[in-house]
Structure 1
Amino acid sequence: MTETATATRFILLTQDHCPNCERLRLMLDKPLKGQFNDQIDVVHREQNTAEFEALTTEYGVQSTPALIDRERGAILRNTGGLGEVKNFLSS
């Protein structure tokens, strides 16, 4: 996964001390075998504060992790299920 937003399709909003963020990262790396990593920009709250805040304001995101599809403007807030994550990234 790329570590700052550029022109990829998806954005992953994440932060420190976030068990669900870690769970999603492991899901993307292990069961999904990194197949979507080159399509996802990671915007980390503590490392990219201004960009993180701009994106949360623009998309109305209030919790992490969140996956944003730039093409559709869709947001996946419930990232706990492998099926939901895979379907979101595949659509």
Structure 2
Amino acid sequence: MPKPFLLLTQANCPACVRLERMLSGPLRGAYWEQIEVVRREDDERQFLALAGEYGVRSTPALVERGTGRQVTGAGSLHEVRLLLGV
């Protein structure tokens, strides 16, 4: 069963690092089990397919599967919490 959220990310992306730190720090890693991380360098084909499916034009993008709602860029902690349903 697919995880309910996707995180599209890539290397050399300061905003990606900031969002990953936000998920690990203030949110204490509580949501990592619900997030499928897709790194461009690990599987570019899957990354591009998902980016196209959800209309993602920049990284990072935290996407809710099904609805397509997303937080792009580093976002704010408030935006991330709203998307994750915290």
TM-score range, shorter chain: over 0.9
**How many residues get paired?**
86
Give the whole-Å Cα distance in 2 for the aligned partners of 1:59 and 1:10.
12
User: What TM-score results when the alignment is normalised by the length of structure 2?
Assistant: 0.92
Give structure 2 stretches of 5+ with no counterpart: none
> Secondary structure in 1 aligned to 2:46?
helix
> Residue 42 of structure 1: which of 5, 24, 37 is its match?
37
User: What TM-score results when the alignment is normalised by the length of structure 1?
Assistant: 0.87
Task: Name the counterpart of 1:69.
Answer: 64
Deviations 1:13-61 (A, max 9, x none): 0000000000001000010001111000000011110100001111111
Give structure 1 stretches of 5+ with no counterpart: 1-5
**What amino acid is aligned across from residue 80 of structure 2 in structure 1?**
V
> Residue 80 of structure 1: which of 56, 59, 75 is its match?
75
Task: Name the counterpart of 1:3.
Answer: none
User: Quick check: 1:32 aligned with 2:8?
Assistant: no
> Secondary structure in 1 aligned to 2:22?
helix
**What amino acid is aligned across from residue 79 of structure 1 in structure 2?**
A
Runs of 4 or more above 3 Å deviation: none
